[in-house]
Amino acid sequence: MEYKHVTAEFESKVKTYIRNHIEAVQITDASQDQYKFDLTYHEVRIVTCVLWMYEWIMREGAKKILVVGDHTIIDWCLAHLKAIEGKEVLFTNCELREHFPYSANTFDLVIDFEVLEHLKDKQDATRDLFEFSGAYNLLGECARVLKPGKVMVLSTPNMVSLKSICRMFLKKHPYMFYKHVREYTPDDMRSMFPTCGMNVELLETINVWDTFEGDYSNFDFEQNVQWKENKAIMERMLADSPFDKTERGDDMFVVGRKK
């Protein structure tokens, strides 16, 4: 996506805020240690989410915004930079697999970063199969509370990324994070969004997951793809194959506009 509202100066300020926040985290216990580590290796993804959220707030002239999830460094950064002054930003405080406590046609913009992959089926699911009921409920509720013609911006890992393929060659789980409930493909998004009342206006895949360069034997690191060594090999294999080369970035950013 070519930014229309994100300037080089604004991007620099975002990166500075995120970096300063990471460096300011005090390691007082194991949870803070994990928090700082998580922020560090997700830094590129966090910056990208901040820029996308700001860009679409500005493009849509959004005044009332729903963020799926809780407060994070993403909205803290935008608040610090005074990028959301005068706007009403609400955060879901409900079970995402059930009815949202908001009226239909309420919001100018819905933001959903890195949530979809964590959703199980609805609580009343009875079959021992994954039936996407939780994911469809989330997308359907986001569409319901959006005003007609307004957009939802979503990010989620790309199941058919080059890194996922590389993980399978390394005999590892193909998910970017093996504890995710479900990771999705671009075709999934193109099918699910219209089913839930939104047309896919934009879908991009971007490499925003950091790559872990350390103990490759540690299964817990989803970045454990030895990417420094294997990136060129994977790119060459794909280039020499008859398969589609597009949409191989590790994270999907999707914009769906309510019909």
pTM comes to 0.93
147-182 confidence digits (pLDDT tens) = 999 999 999 999 999 999 998 998 888 898 888 999
Does the residue 1 lie in any domain?
Answer: no
Does the residue 2 lie in any domain?
Answer: no
Beta bridge partners of 153: 111, 255
Does the residue 132 lie in any domain?
Answer: yes
Does the residue 52 lie in any domain?
Answer: yes
Closest CA to 183 of 238, 245, 251: 251
Does the residue 3 lie in any domain?
Answer: no
The DSSP letter of residue 226 is -
Residues 250 and 165: their CA atoms lie apart, in Å, by 10
Closest CA to 256 of 208, 205, 194, 209: 194
Total domain count for the chain? 1
Does the residue 181 lie in any domain?
Answer: yes
Does the residue 59 lie in any domain?
Answer: yes
Q: Which amino acid type is present at position 241? A: S
Are the C-beta atoms of 248 and 185 separated by less than 8 Å? no
In this structure, what token pair is assigned to residue 60?
Answer: 């849509």
Type and span of the H or E element at 55: helix 43-60
pLDDT at 222: 52
| Mean pLDDT for back-to-back runs of 10 residues, the chain (259 residues) | 97 97 87 81 92 98 97 96 97 95 98 97 80 96 98 97 91 86 97 98 92 55 71 96 97 98
Does the residue 246 lie in any domain?
Answer: yes
pLDDT at 99: 96
pLDDT at 219: 52
CB burial string 82-97: b at 16+ within 10 A, e below: ebbeeeebeebeeebb
Q: Look at residue 207 and give its three-state secondary structure.
A: coil
Residue 240: domain span: 8-258
Residues 11 and 7: their CA atoms lie apart, in Å, by 6
Strand locations in the chain (E) = 64-67, 88-91, 107-113, 146-157, 198-206, 251-258
CATH of the domain at 48: 3.40.50.150
Residues, the chain, total? 259
